Structure 1
Amino acid sequence: MGNIQTLADVLAMVRRRILPMLAVVLLGSVITLLAVLRMPHVYETAAVLQVELPRVAADTATGDVVSRSSQRLQLLEQELTSRDSLAAMIQKHGLFTDTPGLTPTEKVAALRMSIRIETVRAGQNTFGVEQPVSAMLIVVQLGDRQKAADVANDLAARVLDLTAQRQSERVRETLEFYEAEEGRLGLAIAALEAEITAFKNANVDALPEGMQGRREELGRLDATLRDLDLQLLALGQELTALTSRGTPRIIEQRQIAVLEAQIAGLQTQRQAAATRRAEVEAAINRAPMVETQLGTFARRLQQVQDQYSVITRRRAEAETTQRLDSERQTERFDLLEAALPPDYPLASGRRRIMVFGVFASAMLALGLAFVMELRNPVLRSARQMERTLELRPVIALPTLSTPQSRRTGRLRRIAAAGMLALAGAAAALAVKGGSLIQMRSGAPRA
């Protein structure tokens, strides 16, 4: 620090360098004042939308309703702040026309930062329970008060249009989906029933409900075959007895012809009974396979019928929701407060910036004075000489004033007083302007 080591040295340095220091402070104050006066005003306004939950709830699970409502609000916020939506808003209201250097992407980013969407929950937020949204605030900050109000109201109107349109579209699409599903499942049930009928017709003799009759028929056929075998055996023995006597007589020939005719008839009956028995036995053997296939058909039919019942119930619920929507009984938004052009801009912190600017100018002036002293290290007092050379001077001659030095001193004091007055006026002007803005905007602090 050279010869500046004590407070007295600092004060002496300030007295010697008062003019350049005040010049630096005045210049810094004026630059800060110009910068503060050029700061743009920011106007903030808000539109308030009230969110009304369904008066007649179609769903019984309130938590699901609240969750879906919050999700719809998030999707709505994302659509409002999307690139295309904001670009259309900029084009419609002519925003950022005073800054032609901004690219379309930068304008969209600036408008997105100027829009803030807040939600107000109903009641206290208990642990683990999501409270429904009762209100939505669309806050807009722009440099033009009228454009800020227009943008906020336009966003609120877009919210009302989007919610009404999406609600109607969602209800209509849901109803159309369930109607289409009901028709598809109805056709599937009819096709499956036709397939079951065709399968039963193709396997009518092997159906489970006729197995008892088939088994009884098989028993009767077995008895018939035994009787026919006995009759054939008896007739065969009688025919053998007639043919074993040698040359038969005419009466015996007639008896042999009758016996042969009876045997042929019985053999035909036995063949028919044996064929029928084979058919019945094959049907009985096929019965487990038919029963399994019918069980598969029954499970498929039950599954499709269950789906049909669910779809029918959902379609009825969708029709109820559509009626509620047509009567405005579902969740909807109402414009509670429209955005108005604000009377005063937001507090921009001018006073704080002015104070920081004056303080920074004073620190710069003090640093400049130190630099000037270091570039000209002169021993100006007996204390500095004794501290630097460790020699006590015998005598110290004071500086003799001349008329010219007295005039120079008066001019320096006048110039210093003038610069100090100008710096104080600039600071007072900035502080007064900041206080007025703070008082009008109602902010507790600038």
Structure 2
Amino acid sequence: MSLEPKFYLKVFRSRFPLFFTVFVAVVAIGVALAITLPKVYRAHASLLVEGSQIPSDLASSTVRTDLAEQVQVIRQRLLTRDNLLDIAYRFELYADRPDMQPDEIVADMRKRVRMDLAAGRQQATVVHLTAEADNGETAAEVANDLVTQVLKQDASFRTDVATDTLAFFQKEVARLGEQLDEVNRRILEFKNANIDALPETLDYRLGRQALLQERLAQTRREISQLKDQRRRLVELYERTGQVALPTARSQSPEEVELAELQSQLRAARAVLSETNPKVTMLKSRIAQLEATISGREPEAAEEESEDPSSGVIEAQLVEIDSQIETLENDAAALSEEIAELQSTIERSPSNAITLTAMERERDNIQGQYDAAVERLSAAATGERIEVLSKGQRLSVIEHAVVPNSPAPPGKTLIVLGAMAAGLLLGLAAVVLVEILFPRLRRPVELTRKLGITPLGTLPYVEAPGEAWRRTGVRFAVLALVCAGIGGGLWAVDQMVMPLDQLVEIVRAKVEL
């Protein structure tokens, strides 16, 4: 089926009053909004996120918070109730509305203040601050005040984190130091209490024990020999009456010379005859010595018979008993010392286990202490970096300036938008009415609906004055619609809430 522009134009002309009514109503609403909508001035400021000024491989900051998280924390601190009320009262943002409640002020301020983070791959990270007010000067002042607060919050946030980290490791080092001192004190007390059974002296005590056991065995052998000597001395005295065992009598010089001459004579006889002068001389000298010795023997025998006495055996026995007693005392002392050494040697394994456990605990604490000291040094360096503002930080790259014109959308744009919306809604209303309430306007429609072919068609002829009456009724309806819209807006502004607040609420809902 081909399009018929003339037919649709006639349909539009027949529905023009409906289109015009919708168009005028929408435009009237737009004009009312443009008139009642207050001017809003928007000021912008930008902050740049700068990287650390000190290479991280030389010294790094202890603030490792994610940038987006840090910005969110700062934003939440800025948008606290107390801070927003303080800004509103300091800059007198609601001086013309003294009846506004604090909750309403806070809700409106959170719509007027924005803080956004712009970041991208291989791009600088920028924080945008936006503030809205009824005039440009106030908007710029609020935005710059927010910039100041953001810089303070950033510096305070990073400094507090670095300071808290340093304080934590200082306490950790002090705590571990106290634990280390306590463990060392317990180890020292344990060593002092078990100084004779420490594992490090075990080898010395084992060697000492072996030496003492050897000395004890030697002492016992000496005691056994002395006891045996005493027993044999007593038996000899009881059997022979002598005080000592028979021993060879010491020879006199004459007897020694005689024995030597006899030896020389036997050697000379082996090679010389009996008549040889040397043999004769040796025989003569031997005879003289024998005569001399034989003359002294009765005297010597008499002397020997007078030497022994019964008191000698007692003196020897007393001396032997004294030696035996001394050796037995030495053996007892050696046995006692060996027993003590054995006791300490038996205690050494358990002491070694206990001491090893204590030393292992000390080594663990020492390792933690060394690590904490190292981290404390890093925390102190990080704290100095943040205090001197040498780490990552926010810096102002653009202060807020006074805006020259209100923020879009302007009143002209609102009216133009209302006109465009009126055109679209008017056309939509015409199409909707044609769909819901169709009419037979052409013979082809009559044939399609009734299934007959008409012989001819007669146009509708209006009576005189009917067109004027219909036009007047339409304009009257249009006037009533406009009056109703205007009265409704006035009633809402007076009885419900001001239209500017209503517009703000609607705009906030649309933005969400």
Instruction: State the TM-score, normalized to the length of structure 1.
Output: 0.69
Answer yes or no: is the 8 Å Cα contact 2:26–2:419 preserved in 1.
Answer: no
SS class of match (2:49):
strand
Answer yes or no: is the 8 Å Cα contact 1:228–1:266 preserved in 2.
Answer: yes
1:73 is the counterpart of 2:91: no
SS class of match (1:271):
helix
> CA offsets per residue over residues 4-61 of structure 1, 9 Å max, x none?
xx98887667767766875665455334422333234333221112222221145669
Answer yes or no: is the 8 Å Cα contact 1:24–1:361 preserved in 2.
Answer: yes
**In the TM superposition, what is the alpha-carbon distance from 1:161 to its structure 2 partner?**
1.1
1:55 is the counterpart of 2:46: no
- Corresponding residue number in structure 1 for 2:83: 85
**In the TM superposition, what is the alpha-carbon distance from 1:273 to its structure 2 partner?**
0.6
Alpha-carbon spacing, 1:319–1:353, altered in 2? closer, same or farther (3 Å) = same
**In the TM superposition, what is the alpha-carbon distance from 1:409 to its structure 2 partner?**
5.3
CA distance in 1, matches of 2:69, 2:456: 91
SS class of match (1:344):
coil
1:304 is the counterpart of 2:300: no
CA distance in 2, matches of 1:74, 1:24: 46
- Return the match for 1:41 from 39, 60, 74: 39
- Over alpha carbons, which structure has the higher Rg? 2
Q: Which amino acid aligns with 1:177?
A: F
Equivalent positions of 1:156-305 (< 5 A) are: 156-238=147-229, 256-305=317-366
> CA offsets per residue over residues 137-183 of structure 1, 9 Å max, x none?
11234454334323322221111112222333333333333333333
CA distance in 1, matches of 2:387, 2:460: 102
Alpha-carbon spacing, 1:232–1:178, altered in 2? closer, same or farther (3 Å) = same
CA distance in 2, matches of 1:61, 1:327: 13
Alpha-carbon spacing, 1:258–1:117, altered in 2? closer, same or farther (3 Å) = same
CA distance in 2, matches of 1:154, 1:388: 77
SS class of match (2:115):
strand
Q: Which amino acid aligns with 1:330?
A: G
Equivalent positions of 1:255-404 (< 5 A) are: 256-348=317-409, 349-350=413-414, 351-361=416-426, 364=429
CA distance in 1, matches of 2:329, 2:462: 167
SS class of match (2:121):
coil
User: Could you tell which deviates more after superposition, 189-198 or 386-395?
Assistant: 386-395
Answer yes or no: is the 8 Å Cα contact 2:62–2:383 preserved in 1.
Answer: no
Report how many aligned residue pairs link the two structures. 398
Answer yes or no: is the 8 Å Cα contact 1:48–1:338 preserved in 2.
Answer: yes
CA distance in 2, matches of 1:267, 1:186: 56
SS class of match (2:220):
helix
Q: Which amino acid aligns with 2:75?
A: E
Alpha-carbon spacing, 1:360–1:275, altered in 2? closer, same or farther (3 Å) = same
**Unpaired runs of at least 5, structure 1:** 1-5, 424-446
- Return the match for 2:121 from 125, 133, 137: 125
Q: Which amino acid aligns with 2:76?
A: Q
> CA offsets per residue over residues 77-129 of structure 1, 9 Å max, x none?
332234443344344434456667876445434433443323344xx626xxx
CA distance in 2, matches of 1:134, 1:160: 15
SS class of match (2:325):
helix
CA distance in 1, matches of 2:72, 2:49: 14
- Corresponding residue number in structure 2 for 1:429: none
Alpha-carbon spacing, 1:325–1:230, altered in 2? closer, same or farther (3 Å) = same
CA distance in 1, matches of 2:191, 2:173: 27
- Corresponding residue number in structure 1 for 2:275: none
Answer yes or no: is the 8 Å Cα contact 1:119–1:134 preserved in 2.
Answer: yes
**In the TM superposition, what is the alpha-carbon distance from 1:276 to its structure 2 partner?**
0.2
Answer yes or no: is the 8 Å Cα contact 1:115–1:138 preserved in 2.
Answer: yes
SS class of match (1:180):
helix
CA distance in 1, matches of 2:444, 2:202: 134
Answer yes or no: is the 8 Å Cα contact 1:57–1:330 preserved in 2.
Answer: no
CA distance in 1, matches of 2:322, 2:331: 14
CA distance in 1, matches of 2:100, 2:433: 39
CA distance in 2, matches of 1:400, 1:163: 80
CA distance in 2, matches of 1:398, 1:204: 132
SS class of match (1:346):
coil
Q: Which amino acid aligns with 1:53?
A: G
CA distance in 1, matches of 2:459, 2:216: 164
**In the TM superposition, what is the alpha-carbon distance from 1:277 to its structure 2 partner?**
0.3
Answer yes or no: is the 8 Å Cα contact 1:160–1:334 preserved in 2.
Answer: yes
- Corresponding residue number in structure 2 for 1:29: 27
Alpha-carbon spacing, 1:49–1:400, altered in 2? closer, same or farther (3 Å) = closer
Alpha-carbon spacing, 1:59–1:74, altered in 2? closer, same or farther (3 Å) = farther
CA distance in 2, matches of 1:318, 1:17: 80
**In the TM superposition, what is the alpha-carbon distance from 1:259 to its structure 2 partner?**
4.4
Answer yes or no: is the 8 Å Cα contact 2:27–2:418 preserved in 1.
Answer: no
- Corresponding residue number in structure 1 for 2:114: 116
Answer yes or no: is the 8 Å Cα contact 2:22–2:425 preserved in 1.
Answer: no
Q: Which amino acid aligns with 1:89?
A: I
**Unpaired runs of at least 5, structure 2:** 240-309, 483-512
Alpha-carbon spacing, 1:412–1:266, altered in 2? closer, same or farther (3 Å) = closer
Q: Which amino acid aligns with 1:145?
A: G
SS class of match (1:232):
helix
User: Could you tell which deviates more after superposition, 22-31 or 327-336?
Assistant: 22-31
- Corresponding residue number in structure 2 for 1:154: 145
CA distance in 2, matches of 1:397, 1:232: 163
**In the TM superposition, what is the alpha-carbon distance from 1:290 to its structure 2 partner?**
3.2
> CA offsets per residue over residues 276-329 of structure 1, 9 Å max, x none?
001112222333333333433433333333333333333333333344445432
Alpha-carbon spacing, 1:135–1:409, altered in 2? closer, same or farther (3 Å) = closer
CA distance in 2, matches of 1:20, 1:325: 70
